Copies of this chain bind each other. A is one copy, B any other.
């Protein structure tokens, strides 16, 4: 059944979507909202009026209290919301609490505990290997055996719309004898999906692939802004650090994992077969179409369905050593790139290391550029649901 909310039925924000965010309006305190059509449902007063046991979590300026309640509550809250927004008899109760989305400000929707970034696209990893190490095998021997990942900086994850300041740092052009200090000249995007952990675990616990949906609450688009020149000089042997840690952007709306049930697809195939702790039940992939928009023009269309490693495998790997999970942990897929050149999720690949300008003749990001990531996926009502957009504009180095 579709929503009775004006304009919601058949839109990309019908009752098969219902992403969560944190919004504020004027001087009112920030609290949890759910998007329906072009409105935000102010959940707290409705939940309080209906004496919902979990009503208090919607008054928080963060999704974390809701995340901590775990999957059974996520499920019952979602069913309740679907009822409210599709059953016409609820209109009188709900309508006074619908706010036009243009009237609210979206805040950072969750507090990030630990942030991990994976490297799970075969096409992206292969492209990067060819660009950075043209005389070697593009993939390292471990790549097909495990989802390669590393920790990023949780404190600099920001919500869509936050400015992105061009970072300064050490740069060393290949022909220079020693490094110089200055603004990055190879500022880039990485189009990724982020997975948000709700239910925590204790140290020593492993999360099997089958328990993925018990722990992961939802999904956000994620732009892992990257300074390629800083990264290239610093990353051997301990991995990327300042080339990534200045800013990571996530969307203001978190799509519940349940909303992506209709988007599940089989993985493209894994060879060799992974070790048993990484075995996963199909369909373990997601058919999510991403668009990279530069200053209003679509410059790439990365397909999430092309990803080699499943999100459930990333989580099982992350915890195989007994590392605990906390509410608010965020792990990202790594750059999503498809087989075609028009499906590459970074400027590094789109410009082939800066050697083949694309679009308006560019290689990397210029000051003033605005980049948005958008995405849609099949919804359970037969149409497509939208993931929350993530946008950032490049400000000059200070």
Contacts and interface: CB of A to CB of B under 8 A. Distances in A.
Interface of A: 113-114, 116, 119, 140-142, 145-146, 148-156, 158, 165, 167-170, 172, 178-181, 203-204, 206, 227, 230, 233-243, 245-247, 272, 275-277, 317-318, 320-326, 329, 398
Contact of A142 (B151, B227, B236): B236
A275 to B, nearest CB: 5
Given A113-B154, A178-B272, A149 B322 contact: no
B170 A323 contact: no
A150 B153 contact: no
16 contacts: A113-B155, A116-B241, A119-B238, A145-B172, A149-B238, A153-B323, A155-B329, A165-B322, A167-B321, A168-B206, A204-B398, A235-B239, A239-B240, A245-B321, A246-B321, A246-B323
Contact of A238 (B239, B245, B275): B239
Contacts of A178: 145, 272
Residue among A150, A276, A326 facing the most chain B CB atoms (10 A cut-off): A150
A156 B322 CA distance: 10
A346 to B, nearest CB: 15
Residue among A181, A234, A238, A320 facing the most chain B CB atoms (10 A cut-off): A238
Contacts of A234: 142, 146, 148
Contacts of A235: 237-239
Contacts of A237: 140, 148, 235-236, 239
A203 B170 CA distance: 18
A241 B149 contact: yes
Contacts of A154: 113-114, 154
B179 A145 contact: yes
A161 to B, nearest CB: 14
A332 to B, nearest CB: 12
